């Protein structure tokens, strides 16, 4: 990466606490994600992955330090920053009573696309994600896999430069999983930075180039996936994960 290019994400000396819950907090956290890479964030249940994603996307605001997305500070109601990234949250973000086409129309307009751009992008995404036949049916009647694909389409309607994905394949069948992963790889080839969390560590090995593992609000290892595995003398992310975070249940 050229020296003058901003990082996709630069977290510096970040501190965050929920006012009513001390179970997870971040203190003096530093993390940089280069532009154009496929980055994975992993950790046990309750480690703070979703919290960190919500901080990176400005859903939550930091208490100390800063988070910059492509050089611009997040956490402000700043439309300029908000249209640079897409967010595919773990919980479905669409309107259940609307169809995929209506949802894409709504979220495309929110992102500032013109009517022609929305129409073209809707046709393209519904085709790529196998939703053409149900484009006008209410989403509430869809299977879990179809809802995941609608959730993804909404996150990328505006061709974001950075795409956050919080467990984008949870609860889907093998067909949908492969279609989603292949689509994400294509997006990345065309320049989109991917920042992804999942508990599917086999899938993560196919998708991610660089990773960070977090536990109890701290980064416990990070780097290129091959380097991290080599440094810890493991041949799979799953073994490394158990080795670093232990076998005890997490809540």
Ligand X SMILES: Nc1ncnc2c1ncn2[C@@H]1O[C@H](COP(=O)(O)OP(=O)(O)OP(=O)(O)O)[C@@H](O)[C@H]1O
Q: Using the rule CB under 6 A, which residue among 6, 13, 23, 227 binds ligand X?
A: 23
Residue 113 binds ligand X, judged by CB under 6 A: no
The sign of the torsion formed by the CA atoms of 163, 62, 111, 102 equals positive
Of 20 and 133, nearer to ligand X (C-beta) is 20
Cβ-Cβ contacts under 8 Å for 174 (sequence gap 6 or more): none
Of 51 and 176, nearer to ligand X (C-beta) is 51
To which H or E segment does residue 70 belong?
none
How many Å apart are CA 78 and CA 148, to the nearest integer?
27
Residue 50 binds ligand X, judged by CB under 6 A: yes
Q: Using the rule CB under 6 A, which residue among 1, 5, 18, 120 binds ligand X?
A: 18
Q: Which stretch binds ligand X (CB under 6 A): 21-29, 75-83, 95-103, 153-161?
A: 21-29
The C-alpha angle with vertex 93 and arms to 90 and 98, in degrees rounded to 5, equals 140
Q: What is the residue-wise DSSP string for 150-182?
A: HHHHHHHTT--SEEEEESTTTT--HHHHHHHHH
Provide the strand spans (E) within the chain: 9-18, 21-33, 38-42, 64-69, 72-73, 85-88, 162-166, 193-197, 210-215, 218-224
In whole angstroms, how close is the CB of 21 to ligand X at the nearest point?
4
How many Å apart are CA 251 and CA 249, to the nearest integer?
7
Residue 42 binds ligand X, judged by CB under 6 A: no
Q: Which stretch binds ligand X (CB under 6 A): 47-55, 105-113, 114-122, 145-153?
A: 47-55
Of 45 and 233, nearer to ligand X (C-beta) is 45
In whole angstroms, how close is the CB of 64 to ligand X at the nearest point?
18
Of 122 and 169, nearer to ligand X (C-beta) is 169
Of 36 and 155, nearer to ligand X (C-beta) is 155
Residue 48 binds ligand X, judged by CB under 6 A: yes
- Residues numbered 143 to 172 that lie near ligand X (CB under 6 A) are none
How many Å apart are CA 119 and CA 117, to the nearest integer?
6
Residue 22 binds ligand X, judged by CB under 6 A: no
Of 88 and 129, nearer to ligand X (C-beta) is 88
Closest residue by Cα to residue 244 from 44, 29, 56: 44
Residue 45 binds ligand X, judged by CB under 6 A: yes
The answer to whether 68 and 236 are in contact (CB under 8 A) is no
Task: Tell me which residues touch ligand X (CB under 6 A).
Answer: 18, 20-21, 23-24, 43, 45-51
């Amino acid at each position: 990466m050229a020296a003058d290019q901003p990082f996709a994400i630069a977290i510096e000396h970040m501190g965050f606490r929920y006012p009513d819950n001390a179970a997870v907090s971040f203190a003096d956290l530093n993390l940089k994600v280069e532009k154009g890479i496929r980055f994975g964030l992993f950790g046990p249940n309750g480690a703070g992955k979703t919290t960190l994603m919500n901080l990176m996307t400005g859903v939550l605001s930091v208490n100390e330090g800063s988070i910059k997305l492509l050089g611009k500070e997040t956490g402000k109601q700043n439309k300029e920053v908000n249209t640079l990234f897409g967010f595919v949250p773990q919980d479905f973000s669409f309107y259940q009573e609307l169809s995929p086409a209506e949802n894409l129309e709504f979220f495309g307009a929110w992102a500032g696309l013109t009517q022609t751009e929305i129409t073209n992008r809707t046709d393209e995404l519904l085709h790529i994600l196998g939703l053409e036949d149900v484009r006008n049916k209410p989403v509430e009647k869809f299977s879990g896999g179809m809802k995941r694909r609608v959730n993804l389409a909404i996150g990328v309607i505006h061709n974001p430069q950075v795409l956050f994905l919080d467990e984008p394949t949870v609860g889907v069948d093998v067909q949908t999983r492969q279609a989603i992963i292949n689509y994400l790889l294509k997006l990345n080839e065309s320049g989109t930075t991917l920042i992804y969390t999942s508990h599917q560590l086999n899938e993560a090995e196919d998708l991610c180039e660089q990773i960070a593992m977090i536990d109890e609000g701290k980064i416990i290892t990070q780097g290129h996936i091959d380097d991290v595995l080599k440094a810890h003398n493991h041949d799979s992310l799953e073994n490394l994960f158990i080795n670093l975070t232990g076998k005890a249940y997490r809540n």
